[in-house]
DNA sequence: TTGTTTTGAGCAAGCGTTTGCACAAACAAT
DNA sequence: ATTGTTTGTGCAAACGCTTGCTCAAAACAA
């Protein structure tokens, strides 16, 4: 005889005939050597596949009611019946409402235990209008971000923050900008999530406008291009960070400093570029256009750019690179060109991922605390979800220049 | 006058008094200079916050019915009313049922457009018992996996496969094994997902037993430790891959080959270890216990191990390392020890992540096609979800040894 | 004893869909 | 004209939960 575990699906060919279904069940029960089968509730005449409930009786003694032939789940009603209370009472026990007496709670909990009850979260979400889920749009497969550790780390932070408050994550991908927006609409209007985290802010961001218009809770990682006062965001002070990185080089005597950055549509690039320019200007160093490179992360393109840069009449003596991984590419290209770091050229990069200390030479890199970026984002999003009066916030995650061996004082020529 | 966008939440202090609510609405409407407000439906006497519907009338001409005071969404009923059909018809139009005439479809679609209707996916899931979502448990923050590109890449593959079939991803984290199982139960019994993808298989895997017992669709990435015949899984032929990698070294004249692997509880480690042993045995080379190292990925531990290994009486002339990132650590340690690769020692590693070609020297690495691992997992999971008769499958993703410069022929001593 | 408050639990409506069947209208076949 | 078929829509129950209000019983006060 079987124990009271779930019973695998019996294949019922025609769902249109009650008798046939019943018959199938009998056959199934017999061949599995269950003792008896009792249909105990016929949910409606207008029945659908999956609406029958039954009890298995073992060895003539009634055991627990077991569900499962057509994947019928244990519901709150079943628990209520077993505990001899109303469904609403069970619901309140689950919510640990103070209006229920201890005695009843015990009784109900016991029944839940016996039946192996687990609430149906879709039903819960539908009724309570909340999902305990936060939404995320992944960068599309082809995206630059995917190649480097930023994404997983920030995800890890988000996940950690969500986990602490028992929130889950819901993600989709969008291949194009249009698809991405659709994905967001699906999550938001489809009521799949209570709030959203955006992983990057573009200069003209449709998603942000959409969420703003709908007044839907969201947190942005990065700095909004506009509406700064209306958007809770968590960011580094990228302007300062880059300024400091550049100043670090300046203090080491470098005047010819090039900037290697990413897509100018990303606000972070813009900010950092400004910080770079400020540092140079403060030091009275002239800005040179040919020292500023925006390359997508593709290695080949990067190589080209670096080669061009180094073959200028006055090649730079130092580089600021906005990403460790990109810096690694640069490092390789320099190596090919026979230029050695830091003797011939100094490099400061960003992100301080694990990689940066394992590379030769270890990279001086600005640690922007990616994990915390994600962690604070989800934490603050949840606050916002749970209290709609929560004020707009701007959370700045501190950065720190980690000195390693990719920079050194400019040798006097 | 406002346009027909959503109207922000009016703060209604007491939800208990209809009149008060009505009054608040009027105040709100006046101060926002809407022309008129009509309550058009009082959903029930026994009302709850958020159950009122209304129409805004602009400039005396009736515009679209607008919802939103208490974030009331447009429902299928509203669409039905506007299009003058039954809700069921709207539902069928959405599902593009052939039973609906073209004329009606057009009419309904128009109404949906006007109202900006979007289906409530929770309600859909509840009624249709399917979520179009696949579940995933992330490695916990502290986990090894998070540090290297395996996770994001496989996620990318999964996401791609899911996206193609319009499935979304649902993720949670578990910090401990217990929490992880709870997270799975929550997703499965909470009916949040239609199927699951497991990212690694442990030797005694409670999650697998659970899913198997419940007969819940899932796909494993990696090889199951037991019940191989009952579990659809996608994997590399890790045995062969490692055997080939080792043979590659043997063919280059190496006899003293050490194995640096990860946690022995992971099936993949076991498989690869076996492949390594087979290769040696086939070549008639004696296995040495001191040549086999299992280190968690922590850099420090790894360094220790490598140092120990190299100070053996007969240090190995070649290493197989089960992960590129780990190999990078090894590379660094060797560098510290003044041992150069590949001159003094050859290395073959695994995964062939972008990193491996950017490192000095570029690593000979076995490409196991991580993306495809994820892609096939979600693709096959979805097949399984959509057709419960889908047979159990074993999908082997081909691997390929990518030769770079971290190996060379053993110089004759 | 009677009136009043408190406590605990139940009733039933509601969340927004899907879907089996009923049924009217239009058409075809007798 | 009568009886079948189609074809297209509508009806209403169901999914499994939450929650405002009602109300009986218990506890307390007068």
Cβ of B103: how many Cβ atoms within 10 Å? 8
Strand C footprint nucleotides (protein C-beta < 7 Å): 7-21
Question: For B66, what's the count of Cα atoms within 13 Å in the CB-facing half-sphere?
Answer: 20
Cβ of B237: how many Cβ atoms within 10 Å? 17
Q: What is the pLDDT of residue B207?
A: 92
| Best of A145, A152, A209 to mutate (most B CBs within 10 Å, chain B) | A152
Most confident of A2-11, A172-181, B261-270: A172-181
Percentage of chain B modeled with pLDDT above 70: 78
Q: What is the pLDDT of residue B328?
A: 86
Task: List Cα–Cα distances, B243 to A146, B83, B273, B275, in angstroms.
Answer: 31, 67, 9, 4
Q: pLDDT tens digits, residue range B257-311?
A: 999 988 888 888 889 999 999 999 999 999 999 999 887 655 566 677 888 889 8
Q: What is the pLDDT of residue A142?
A: 66
Q: What is the pLDDT of residue B80?
A: 86
- Return the closest nucleotide (C1') to the Cα of B128: C18
Assigned token pair, A246: 């550049």
Who has greater pLDDT, B401 or A174? Answer: B401
- Return the closest nucleotide (C1') to the Cα of B89: D9
- Comparing CB atoms, the residue among B163, B191, B354 nearest residue A122 is B191
Give how far B291 is from chain A: nearest CA, Å. 24
Q: Angle at the Cα of A366 (from A365 to A370), degrees rounded to 5? A: 115
Give me the residues paired with residue A36 across strands.
A57
Percentage of chain B modeled with pLDDT above 90: 46
A1-15, A96-110, B128-142, B211-225: segment of lowest average pLDDT: A1-15
Q: pLDDT tens digits, residue range A388-412?
A: 778 999 999 999 999 999 998 876 5
Q: What is the pLDDT of residue B10?
A: 31
Q: Report whether pLDDT(A301) > 90.
A: no
**Which chain A residues are within 8 Å of B142, Cβ to Cβ?**
none
Who has greater pLDDT, B36 or B87? Answer: B87
Give me the residues paired with residue B396 across strands.
B235
Report residue B131's pLDDT band, with 50, 70 and 90 as the boundaries: very high
Most confident of A6-15, B95-104, B161-170, B210-219: B161-170
Most confident of A145-149, B1-5, B148-152: B148-152
Q: pLDDT tens digits, residue range B323-334?
A: 888 888 888 889
Q: What is the pLDDT of residue B147?
A: 64
Cβ of A213: how many Cβ atoms within 10 Å? 10
* DSSP letter, residue B202: B
Contact A152 B146 (CB under 8 A): yes
Give how far A173 is from chain B: nearest CA, Å. 7
B204-213, B289-298, B347-356: segment of lowest average pLDDT: B289-298
Give how far B302 is from chain A: nearest CA, Å. 13
Q: Are B240 and B401 in contact (CB under 8 A)?
A: no
Q: pLDDT tens digits, residue range B151-183?
A: 888 999 999 999 999 999 999 988 888 999 999
SS3 of residue B395 by DSSP: strand
**Which chain A residues are within 8 Å of B151, Cβ to Cβ?**
152
Contact B192 A156 (CB under 8 A): no
Q: Give φ, ψ of A41 to 5 degrees.
A: -155, 125
Q: Report whether pLDDT(A167) > 90.
A: yes
Q: What is the pLDDT of residue B301?
A: 63
**Which chain A residues are within 8 Å of B169, Cβ to Cβ?**
170-172
Give me the residues paired with residue B195 across strands.
B134
**Average pLDDT, integer, range B304-321:** 89
Q: What is the pLDDT of residue B326?
A: 84
A19-28, A94-103, A366-375, B148-157: segment of lowest average pLDDT: A19-28
Q: Report whether pLDDT(B50) > 60.
A: no
A255-259, B65-69, B103-107: segment of lowest average pLDDT: B65-69
- Comparing CB atoms, the residue among A121, A151, A169 nearest residue B152 is A151
Q: What is the pLDDT of residue B353?
A: 86
Q: Give φ, ψ of B10 to 5 degrees.
A: -95, 135
A69-73, A185-189, A236-240: segment of lowest average pLDDT: A69-73
Q: Report whether pLDDT(B132) > 90.
A: yes
Report residue B197's pLDDT band, with 50, 70 and 90 as the boundaries: very high
**Which chain B residues are within 8 Å of A192, Cβ to Cβ?**
121-122, 168
Q: What is the pLDDT of residue A149?
A: 79
**Average pLDDT, integer, range B5-24:** 35
Distance CA(A283)–CA(B232), nearest Å, equals 63
Q: Report whether pLDDT(B11) > 80.
A: no
Percentage of chain A modeled with pLDDT above 70: 78
Buried b vs exposed e over A340-352: b needs ≥16 C-beta within 10 Å?
Answer: ebbeebbbbbbbb
Who has greater pLDDT, B29 or A183? Answer: A183
Q: What is the pLDDT of residue A20?
A: 41
Q: Report whether pLDDT(B22) > 90.
A: no
Q: Angle at the Cα of A28 (from A27 to A33), degrees rounded to 5? A: 100
C1' (C18) to CA (A130) span, angstroms: 21
Q: Report whether pLDDT(B115) > 50.
A: yes
**Average pLDDT, integer, range B46-68:** 32
Which chain B residue is nearest to residue A299, measuring alpha carbons?
B358
Which chain A residue is nearest to residue B122, measuring alpha carbons?
A122
- Return the closest nucleotide (C1') to the Cα of B48: D20
C1' (D16) to CA (B392) span, angstroms: 32
Q: Give φ, ψ of A362 to 5 degrees.
A: -55, 135
**Average pLDDT, integer, range A379-392:** 90
Distance CA(B217)–CA(A314), nearest Å, equals 63
Assigned token pair, B134: 């696949």
C1' (D9) to CA (B359) span, angstroms: 67
Assigned token pair, B6: 């959503």
- Comparing CB atoms, the residue among A168, A213, A328 nearest residue B5 is A213
Give how far A196 is from chain B: nearest CA, Å. 14
C1' (C30) to CA (B101) span, angstroms: 29
**Average pLDDT, integer, range A41-56:** 34
Q: pLDDT tens digits, residue range A328-355?
A: 888 888 988 899 988 999 999 999 988 8
Q: pLDDT tens digits, residue range B30-48?
A: 434 333 343 333 322 223 3
**Average pLDDT, integer, range A18-45:** 39
Most confident of A51-60, A251-260, A385-394: A251-260
Q: What is the pLDDT of residue A303?
A: 76
- Return the closest nucleotide (C1') to the Cα of B47: D20
- Nearest of A136, A128, A115 to residue A188 by alpha carbon: A136
Q: What is the pLDDT of residue A30?
A: 40
Q: Report whether pLDDT(B67) > 50.
A: no
């Amino acid at each position: 005889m079987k124990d009271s575990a779930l019973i695998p699906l019996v294949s019922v060919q025609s769902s249109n005939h009650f008798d046939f279904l019943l018959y199938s069940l009998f056959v199934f029960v017999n061949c599995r050597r269950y003792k008896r089968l009792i249909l105990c509730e016929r949910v409606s005449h207008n029945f659908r596949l999956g609406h029958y409930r039954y009890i298995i009786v073992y060895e003539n003694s009634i055991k627990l009611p077991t569900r499962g032939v057509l994947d019928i789940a244990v519901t709150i009603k079943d628990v209520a019946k077993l505990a001899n209370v109303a469904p609403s009472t069970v619901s309140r026990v689950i919510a640990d409402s103070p209006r229920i007496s201890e005695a009843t709670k015990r009784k109900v909990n016991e029944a839940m235990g016996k039946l192996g009850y687990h609430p149906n979260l879709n039903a819960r979400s539908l009724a309570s209008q909340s999902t305990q889920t936060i939404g995320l749009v992944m960068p599309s497969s082809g995206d630059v971000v995917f190649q480097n550790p930023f994404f997983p780390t920030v995800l890890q932070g988000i996940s950690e923050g969500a986990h602490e408050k028992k929130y889950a994550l819901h993600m989709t991908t969008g291949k194009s900008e249009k698809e991405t927006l659709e994905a967001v609409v699906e999550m938001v209007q489809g009521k799949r999530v209570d709030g959203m985290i955006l992983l990057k802010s573009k200069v003209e961001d449709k998603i942000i406008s959409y969420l703003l218009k709908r007044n839907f809770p969201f947190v942005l990682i990065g700095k909004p291009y506009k509406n700064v006062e209306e958007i809770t965001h968590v960011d580094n002070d990228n302007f300062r960070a880059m300024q400091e990185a550049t100043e670090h080089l300046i203090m080491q005597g470098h005047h010819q400093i090039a900037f290697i950055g990413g897509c100018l549509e990303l606000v972070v690039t813009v900010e950092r570029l400004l910080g770079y320019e400020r540092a140079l200007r403060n030091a009275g160093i002239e800005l040179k256009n040919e020292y500023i490179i925006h390359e997508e992360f593709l290695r080949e393109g990067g190589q080209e750019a670096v080669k061009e840069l180094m073959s200028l009449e006055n090649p730079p003596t130092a580089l600021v690179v906005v990403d460790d991984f990109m810096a690694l590419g640069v490092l390789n290209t320099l190596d090919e060109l026979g230029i050695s770091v830091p003797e011939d050229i100094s490099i400061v990069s960003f992100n301080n991922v694990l990689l940066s200390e394992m590379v030769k030479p270890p990279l001086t890199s600005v640690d922007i605390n990616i994990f915390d970026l994600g962690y604070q984002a989800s934490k603050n999003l949840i606050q916002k979800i749970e209290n709609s009066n929560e004020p707009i916030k701007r959370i700045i995650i501190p950065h720190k220049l980690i000195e390693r061996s990719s920079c050194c004082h400019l040798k006097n020529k």
